[in-house]
Homo-oligomer: A and B are copies of this chain.
Amino acid sequence: MQARFDDVKAMVAKSLEGAMAHLPKGELTDAMRYATLGGKRVRAFLVMESARLNGAEDSAALPVAAAVEALHAYSLVHDDLPAMDDDDLRRGMPTCHVQWSEATAILAGDALQTLAFQLLTDEAIGDAEVRLALIAAFSKAVGAQGMVRGQALDIQAETAAEPLDEKAVIRIQEAKTGALFEFSAVAGAIMAKADPEPLRDYARNLGLAFQIADDILDVTGDEAATGKRVGKDDAAGKATFVSLLGLDAARAKAERLVDKAEAALEPYGDAAGNLRELARFVIERDT
């Protein structure tokens, strides 16, 4: 898996760099570029493996992988703003509004969302029907029906009178991180006009396991490894899988979800080895 991950990282970095190379020079473009540096590229990896499993070429999947990473970068820039989660450290570097300014961070996020949609119009991806199907699914995953709704619910939860229960925390996770995970995982099936259900099932379980692992890292991780502040949820009295279940039960739940994610890959047989490894990785990572 690691070799493929390294390849994907390099390809996506090049693709994003290429997409931004023809933008006018200036602070806005610099901030966009800054915001897309680093990152685990888990979503891009999902896109590339989903495409490979469905017989699509890397060159066709790459603009889609770059689009999900541009979108993810925008969401981090806006989530980190003072009016939102107010974070000063991300991927081991100052957050975008600290490095530049709040205005530039808002605009860089805005332009990264636009760039994500622009990348999905790339002819290399496939015929017009395929690209439109991707754009429609993407818009559903990242707007008021998906990611942005999850972030809104998450922020509202911080000022709620009572901490949320597990069901509510799962509902927020499904929107906030789950929807884009799911899009990334089914993108290859959409490209190949194949059945997306096994990959959707995989992504749902993987996304939830990923969030639980994030919650665990917020308690047990350190800033040098994660590249972001830790202990913030606990300090804010925020309901997380760890606060609701305790560390051991949260770990056990994540394990069960990874088992389910692996089981969902059965139709793909041995070809899905990388995605099986990814599922293990998301709960064993320290970053």
Say whether A32 contacts B144, CB under 8 Å: yes
A50 part of interface (Cβ distance < 8 Å): no
Q: In the complex, are the beta carbons of B32 and A114 less than 8 A apart?
A: no
Contact of A110 among B29, B113, B127, B131 (CB under 8 A): B113
Smallest CB separation, A112 vs chain B (Å) = 8
A274 CB within 8 Å of chain B: no
B-chain residues with CB within 8 Å of residue A129 when the two chains form the complex: 128
Chain B residue numbers with a CB within 8 Å of A127 are 128
Interface string of A4-23 (1 = CB under 8 A from B): 00000000000000001001
Interface flags for A136-175 (1: CB within 8 Å of B; 0: not) read 1001101111001101110110000000000000000000
A22 to B, closest residue via Cβ: B145
Give A180 Cβ to nearest chain B Cβ, in Å: 12
Give A71 Cβ to nearest chain B Cβ, in Å.
Answer: 9
State the copy count for this chain.
2
Q: Which of A96-104, A195-203, A238-246, A277-285 touches B?
A: A96-104
**Residue among A32, A103, A144, A145 with the highest chain B CB neighbour number at 10 A:** A144
Known: A28-B149, A128-B132. A139 touches B118 (CB 8 A): yes
User: CA separation between A147 and B212, bound complex, in Å?
Assistant: 39
Is there a chain B Cβ closer than 8 Å to A247's Cβ?
no
Q: Is A117 part of the binding interface, using a Cβ–Cβ cutoff of 8 Å?
A: yes
Within the complex, the shortest CB–CB distance from A143 to chain B, in Å, comes to 3
A219 interfacial contact with B, CB 8 Å: no
Q: How far is the CA of A23 from the CA of B151 in the complex (A)?
A: 15
Q: CB distance B103 to A148 under 8 Å? A: no
A117/B144 in contact, CB under 8 A: no
Which of chain B's residues has its CB closest to A75's CB? B110
Given contacts A111-B149, A127-B128, 12 further A-B contacts (CB under 8 A): A23-B144, A24-B149, A26-B149, A28-B149, A74-B110, A78-B107, A103-B152, A107-B155, A110-B143, A115-B143, A128-B129, A128-B131
5 closest cross-chain pairs (CB), A and B: A114-B143, A83-B102, A128-B128, A118-B139, A111-B144
